[in-house]
């Protein structure tokens, strides 16, 4: 689902390229609020970018910037993985910060942000602090009322959760196909590894490129992803695809080597088989069985070009009876046998394999038929 660009007046981000001065006059202060069941990757990725950019070498001293974990109390906050982090200071005693970073995580497990947390976010936003929401931290920002008239980056996985919880949100302001959005003093990030990228973008406002690049290299990231880099999501789907279909496809991906019966899949989604069939046909143009088969073939195609595994081994891993079964289905889909496909595509980068996603889109059948050989017989 594409979102139109908002009027220029709606988005006025601060420049992310610093002045020639390499050192800021004062340390940049970051306060971090961890919500219950926060995502550890989002938190650690962001903090490690601060840590490695704050000092020369790998000494991790807060020279250029400082960071503090702030909470309603000093009681440990549990991450979604079970690890607990204890706040360093409370909202009441916390000193002012330049950036307040709200890190969220699970939406459907346990308590959400407390009213006291929302009040603290409002107080920070009312001053000169830039408020940053990572993963579902933007849900708390939305509840606090600090995202009005701002563009909002939401993970494709939580797009419908956001719409359901905030039905009056301006859909044109939602961005569900980019890693993060910087809109004046509000920054929202889809989460995961993108927390490293958004931290790098923030630090480039204040530090020289070499300092930030050094941190990225130590983290073995290389170049940061720009804000307009796409979010990775199930191939062939738009962010606004029905959530039940998304979850069904995630289950298919997780068990790509097994043909999940329609009844079992529907039961996991609290749907009848007939309801799931209708939803799939409406959203993808294919039945669940046909989509699963193309997903297995796409996985097999990727394994053929990215590994040295035998065709028989790949067939077994992708849920086909044997190499001959994979060969027949593969030729129907791609027009060539697996071995020839491997020879033609060997060495291609993942970005060059994006054309495989066409077979998962609703218009794939018509497009494939029009192209002649290699057309899909699935429907």
Check: CB of residue 159 under 8 Å from CB of residue 144: no
The tens digit of pLDDT for each residue in 86-117 reads: 999 999 999 999 999 999 999 988 889 999 99
Check: CB of residue 198 under 8 Å from CB of residue 132: yes
Question: Phi/psi class of residue 154: alpha, beta or left (left: φ > 0; alpha: ψ in -120 to 50)?
Answer: beta
Using the structure block, give the residue that is written with the tokens 């390499």. Answer: 22
More confident residue, 320 or 227: 320
Check: CB of residue 46 under 8 Å from CB of residue 112: no
Which residue pairs, CB below 8 angstroms and at least 24 apart, start in 143-146? 143/113, 143/118, 144/118, 144/119, 146/121, 146/122, 146/186
Quick check: 328 pLDDT over 90? yes
The tens digit of pLDDT for each residue in 147-168 reads: 999 999 999 888 878 988 999 9
The whole-number pLDDT of residue 360 equals 55
135 CB-near residues (< 8 Å, 6+ apart): 38, 39, 42, 103, 104, 105, 155, 189, 190, 191, 192, 195
The whole-number pLDDT of residue 186 equals 98
Residue 319: which of 345, 294, 354 has the closest Cα?
Answer: 294
Taken in order of first residue, the domains within the chain and their CATH numbers are 8-218 (3.40.50.880), 243-371 (1.10.10.60)
The whole-number pLDDT of residue 355 equals 56
CA distance 282 to 276: 10
CA distance 233 to 297: 18
More confident residue, 142 or 281: 142
66 CB-near residues (< 8 Å, 6+ apart): 27, 28, 29, 30, 54
* Mean pLDDT estimate for the chain: 84
The whole-number pLDDT of residue 178 equals 87
What is the reported pTM?
0.69
Quick check: 46 pLDDT over 70? yes
Take residue 179 and report the two structure tokens written for it: 């890693």
């Amino acid at each position: 689902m594409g979102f139109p660009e908002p009027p220029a007046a709606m988005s006025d981000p601060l420049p992310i390229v610093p002045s020639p001065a390499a050192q800021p006059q004062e340390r940049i202060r970051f306060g971090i609020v961890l919500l219950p069941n926060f995502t550890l990757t989002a938190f650690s990725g962001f903090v490690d970018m601060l840590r490695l950019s704050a000092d020369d070498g790998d000494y991790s001293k807060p020279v250029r910037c400082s960071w503090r974990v702030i909470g309603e109390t000093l009681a440990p906050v549990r991450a979604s993985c079970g690890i607990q982090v204890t706040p360093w200071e409370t909202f009441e005693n916390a000193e002012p910060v330049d950036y307040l970073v709200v890190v969220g995580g699970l939406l459907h497990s346990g308590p959400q942000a407390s009213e006291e947390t929302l009040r603290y976010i409002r107080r920070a936003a009312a001053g000169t602090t830039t408020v940053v929401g990572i993963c579902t931290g933007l849900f708390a920002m939305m509840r606090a009322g600090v995202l009005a008239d701002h563009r909002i980056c939401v993970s494709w996985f939580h797009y419908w959760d956001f719409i359901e919880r905030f039905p009056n949100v301006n859909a044109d302001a939602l961005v569900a196909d980019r890693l993060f959005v910087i809109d004046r003093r509000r920054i929202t990030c889809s989460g995961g590894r993108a927390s490293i990228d958004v931290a790098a973008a923030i630090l480039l406002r204040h530090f020289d490129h070499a300092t930030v690049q050094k941190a990225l290299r130590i983290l073995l990231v290389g170049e940061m992803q720009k804000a307009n880099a796409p979010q990775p999501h199930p191939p062939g789907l738009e962010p606004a695809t029905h959530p039940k279909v998304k979850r069904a496809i995630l289950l298919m991906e997780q068990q790509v080597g097994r043909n999940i019966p329609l009844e079992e899949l529907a039961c996991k989604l609290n749907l009848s088989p007939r309801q799931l069939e209708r939803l799939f046909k409406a959203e993808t143009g294919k039945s669940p069985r046909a989509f699963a088969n193309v997903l297995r073939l796409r996985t097999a195609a990727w394994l053929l070009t990215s590994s040295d595994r035998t065709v028989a081994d790949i067939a077994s891993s992708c849920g086909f009876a044997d190499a001959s079964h994979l060969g027949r289905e593969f030729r129907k889909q791609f027009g060539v046998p697996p071995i020839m496909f491997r020879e033609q595509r060997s060495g291609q980068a993942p970005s060059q394999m994006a054309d495989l996603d066409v077979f998962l889109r609703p218009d794939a059948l018509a497009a494939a038929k029009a192209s002649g050989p290699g057309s899909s017989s699935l429907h």
